[in-house]
Structure 1
């Protein structure tokens, strides 16, 4: 009689051995591989799409944004070449074309600006050039190549820092040969974007080329005495009155200027700007900080041509200068003409002279029908001149010749 088999315990499941993937029954193997295939295909498709997108984004160059030539909301700045959120004037919206306040129609085609050479020459051991001119600056000697920096220390005693800006630093200095006061401007080479040629064929930064064109004996522009090219810097030696002050501090020390003093200084600035335009140079950064006043003679001198360029009849589509002095057509439309934009900045300058402050508060938006508020103590002729310069439509602004012939400039009181 065979032995009896042990009866399994009721209520407890029989333990199943843990099977490997190879031992999986077909009923369970199919869902497993179906999930693996689906995950693999999904990962492959997502990776393929991402790789294709990256390939296309690198293969197709992104188009450069074109400046808006039609009215629209003010845009933010692209460095020094796009409309900036002006600290003093940033209009929020331009009127539609066809309205009375729409302003001049934008150019039908993109005007081509006259741009000097952008290629920056490689660093050299050191060279210098003397710019002929009258006064204590006329020194035609040229330091030997490679010894320019050593010659600079031997010729000048550098003093205190006069100012620092986006283009470099300016120091007070004294020429050791005759004790004449000078200003030494140091600009790092990597901040110089435009180069051109002097009449003798020498490659030089555009600022030096422009100064060479305008500072040839004219007293209203600071004379360029000498310039040096060092491995890492460009050095400019400029004339400096012994006792001088920039117009910003000159106004601040007095609160505001009387109309008589303002007329005397403003006429000199107009003559300096007219001289520059007659030489084919556009300053583009006229403001009190860039006007030097000789405290002994009240002679005004225009300085700092770092934002300057060549004057052209067509519209500019790149801006350089101080945003709070930019004209409304640039803020609204993204283009401006050189001469009307200069008149706008001169109007702000005259307002600062006689009122002691910028005409537009920080963050204020200028509407096309804005009314400029002026102190009642100003003569009617002075108020009219400021309002004419700060007209929203650039075609309605006076020319430099009109300003020089204005009754206020001639001290003529109209009935």
Structure 2
């Protein structure tokens, strides 16, 4: 096998991982730490780069679990091709630093903030996020998704577990492109991602468009941020919450409901419309007023 370094933060990425000097191992260059997560496609470990002590994440995927290989590089899994496309130094998307092909595994070396937490645990520690805090993080996610779209990449698995929060800076980063694919304007007839985030058009008709499906998952994400729970039961009826949801401002409620439009996917707002939404646009003034990030900020009590 061969390894292929790809551009790190601040350097432009090619359409596919650029060629590099071949090497079949990287264990001697990194000190492996604790297990960060394990899924159907592989495992992610905390690690340290020995050359400079920088924290990184190492994702190992068994070769026999790679479902899709990149069209532009014969021995690069599609996940690596997609990561290379979005690894342009944009702060809201995890940067692919290097990748290796081992006899039995594909290994990805990814950036990792020194103090970070995935958004799922970040929310659970606070039960839910006050609108002011949720607004800033959600806007960052929107900008990350817009960046991916501009690079021709569809993530397809947007959820709290796949968003990393840098506790030192408040920067949100979109991670895990294992379910991603190339963005297309035509329908998709194969679903990849988390079923509880799949749009109703997929459930009922077996097809979906990439952009409206993304807005659907973003609506679920925002609800989880401000209410601390998934908005749907199994019958997909929107919960009529008597708790935290009723304390949301009308603009936030309206935004969630529009993202979760079930009757017609074209009724959902576009990414650009979301970024111009009054509730989201208010974020810029909030950031200017708040100043530096406090990772220990506690939610307001609305009960």
TM range (shorter): 0.7 to 0.9
Task: Please give the alpha-carbon distance, in whole angstroms, between the structure 1 residues aligned to 2:209 and 2:228.
Answer: 28
> Which residue of 2 is the match for residue 117 of structure 1?
none
What pairs up with 1:115-154 in 2 under 5 angstroms? 126-134=1-9, 144-145=22-23, 148-149=24-25, 152-154=26-28
> Which residue of 2 is the match for residue 291 of structure 1?
163
Task: Please give the alpha-carbon distance, in whole angstroms, between the structure 1 residues aligned to 2:133 and 2:206.
Answer: 36
- Return 5+ residue gaps in structure 2 as ranges: 284-303
Deviation, 1:366, is 2.5
Task: Please give the alpha-carbon distance, in whole angstroms, between the structure 1 residues aligned to 2:182 and 2:5.
Answer: 22
| CA shift digits 1:178-233 (9 cap, x unpaired) | 000000000000010111145xx553100000000011111110000000001110
Over the residues paired in the alignment, what is the CA RMSD in angstroms? 1.9
Maintained 8 Å contact 2:156/2:180: yes
Picking from 273, 276, 288, the partner of 1:405 is 276
| CA shift digits 1:327-374 (9 cap, x unpaired) | 00100111110000000000000000000010013xx2026xx67547
Task: Please give the alpha-carbon distance, in whole angstroms, between the structure 1 residues aligned to 2:148 and 2:10.
Answer: 20
Maintained 8 Å contact 1:186/1:233: yes
Secondary structure (helix, strand or coil) at the match of 1:285 reads coil
TM-score of the pair, normalised by structure 2:
0.87
Q: Would you say how many aligned residue pairs link Structure 1 and Structure 2?
A: 275
| CA shift digits 1:41-62 (9 cap, x unpaired) | xxxxxxxxxxxxxxxxxxxxxx
Picking from 251, 266, 284, the partner of 1:381 is 251
1:162 paired with 2:64, answer no
Structure with greater Cα Rg: 1
> Which residue of 2 is the match for residue 177 of structure 1?
51
> Which residue of 2 is the match for residue 394 of structure 1?
265
Maintained 8 Å contact 2:32/2:48: yes
Task: Please give the alpha-carbon distance, in whole angstroms, between the structure 1 residues aligned to 2:19 and 2:206.
Answer: 45
Deviation, 1:411, is 2.1
Task: Please give the alpha-carbon distance, in whole angstroms, between the structure 2 residues aligned to 1:408 and 1:328.
Answer: 25
Maintained 8 Å contact 2:101/2:107: yes
Task: Please give the alpha-carbon distance, in whole angstroms, between the structure 1 residues aligned to 2:58 and 2:139.
Answer: 27
> Which residue of 2 is the match for residue 13 of structure 1?
none
Maintained 8 Å contact 1:372/1:387: no
| Alpha-carbon distance change, 371 to 243 in structure 1, aligned in 2, over 3 angstroms | closer
Maintained 8 Å contact 1:197/1:203: no
| Alpha-carbon distance change, 141 to 206 in structure 1, aligned in 2, over 3 angstroms | closer
- Return 5+ residue gaps in structure 1 as ranges: 1-125
TM-score of the pair, normalised by structure 1:
0.64
Task: Please give the alpha-carbon distance, in whole angstroms, between the structure 1 residues aligned to 2:186 and 2:22.
Answer: 42
Picking from 321, 324, 340, the partner of 2:193 is 321
